[in-house]
Amino acid sequence: KAGVTQTPRYLIKTRGQQVTLSCSPISGHRSVSWYQQTPGQGLQFLFEYFSETQRNKGNFPGRFSGRQFSNSRSEMNVSTLELGDSALYLCASSLAASGDTQYFGPGTRLTVL
């Protein structure tokens, strides 16, 4: 079974631009969560989607948004990029219920100049 895939793997943007990242979950997984990883803050939860609905959201500004499609694929969007948005963005998929193991994709490395 194929793992979680994320595209693109690397991105370089400038301040003020916007970016869209994509995540395809493991086949059969209906929950997709997004995390931001930085050296200073570690891994922080952004949001989680299940059946095209956002079920939970972390403490990030409204510039960070996401959505999920009927095939469970998910995208996240960051608008008006800031230097501090430079990070590794990880997507994780799981079956559905709380406590189900989340399997991570390889991540998208975003650099904001």
Partner 1 sequence: GQNIDQPTEMTATEGAIVQINCTYQTSGFNGLFWYQQHAGEAPTFLSYNVLDGLEEKGRFSSFLSRSKGYSYLLLKELQMKDSASYLCAVTLGGFQKLVFGTGTRLLVSP
Closest approach of partner 1 to the CB of residue 44, in Å? 7
| Residue nearer to partner 1 on the CB measure, 56 or 71 | 56
Q: Evaluate whether 29 touches 36 at the Cβ level (below 8 Å).
A: no
Q: In angstroms, what CA-CA distances link 92 with 10, 54, 84?
A: 17, 14, 22
Residue 39 makes CB contacts below 8 A (sequence gap 6+) with none
Residues found near partner 1 in the complex (CB under 8 A)? 4, 31, 33, 35, 42-45, 48, 50, 55-56, 58, 90, 92, 94, 96-107
Label residue 106 left, alpha or beta by phi (over 0 means left) and psi (-120 to 50 means alpha). alpha
| Residue nearer to partner 1 on the CB measure, 13 or 30 | 30
| Residue nearer to partner 1 on the CB measure, 40 or 62 | 40
The token pair at 87 is 């990070």
Closest approach of partner 1 to the CB of residue 32, in Å? 9
Closest approach of partner 1 to the CB of residue 15, in Å? 25
DSSP reduced 3-state for 44: strand
| Residue nearer to partner 1 on the CB measure, 86 or 106 | 106
